[in-house]
Every structure is written in structure tokens, then in C-alpha cells.
Amino acid sequence: QVQLVESGGGLVQTGGSLRLSCTASGRTFTSYAMGWFRQAPGKEREFVAAIGWSGASTDYADSVKGRFTISRDNPKNTVYLQMNSLKPEDTAVYYCNAVAAATRLPLGSWGQGTQVTVSS
């Protein structure tokens, strides 16, 4: 069972930047595409971005395309989400998970997430 620990969230003003990290335990990290998801208060959890196992392919939700960049460091079992030009609507708890690239659906258990709050 892979365990996921997200970090890097915080409070930032509109237009600011944050870099989230997700570190996975377990030997199978490099076998999976990894993704970031987010859940805003009162809303369902939604897909944000995904990256293939090698890092060669990426996929983004339309709402973050051009502002967010996903990357991964397989030797460190870590996936990152660089978030630029943040907007108040990006406020949410952000989670990482293994993801089925074709469907954007999460595959494993959730970690505790990291809170991102963007003030207007």
C-alpha cells in the first residue's frame, strides 16, 4: 500500500505562487501516473493535473492550464505542483494520488492533503 504525504500549501495573495510536494512511500511509485486533485468547500473533489510514470506526458484541467506545472522526481518518490498566477477560485485542499491517465480517475487511497488559500 502506497502512502502519500502532501505539503507546501499555505495562504497567498491573488497572483502569487506556491509549490506543492507529494512524497510517496512504497516501491511502486514509478509504476504509476501521478495526479493532483483538489476539493473546495462544498464541492466535489476534482482533477487538476497528471503526469506519466516517466514524466514525459502531462495533462491539465482547463481551469489551470498555463498556470500550473506538474513534475516528478522518481528517485525521490516525489511529485510536485508549481502553481503560478493563483486565483481565489484555486482555494481548496490539494491531494495527490496515483491516477489512471486515460480517465483522470484516482486509483489509491488519499493522504491528508494540503490547504491552499488564495486571498483576493
In tens, the pLDDT along 29-71 reads: 778 999 999 999 999 999 999 999 999 999 999 999 999 999 9
Residue 49 pairs with which residues in a beta bridge?
36, 60
- Confidence band of 80 (pLDDT split at 50, 70, 90): very high
Cβ-contact 34, 96 below 8 angstroms: yes
Our CA dihedral for 80, 20, 105, 58, rounded to 10 degrees, sits at -40
- Confidence band of 101 (pLDDT split at 50, 70, 90): confident
The residue among 85, 97, 90 whose CA lies nearest residue 37 is 97
C-alpha cell belonging to residue 26: 512504497
The burial class, CB within 10 Å (0-12 / 13-18 / 19+), for 37 is buried
**10-36 pLDDT, tens digit each:** 999 999 999 999 999 876 777 899 999
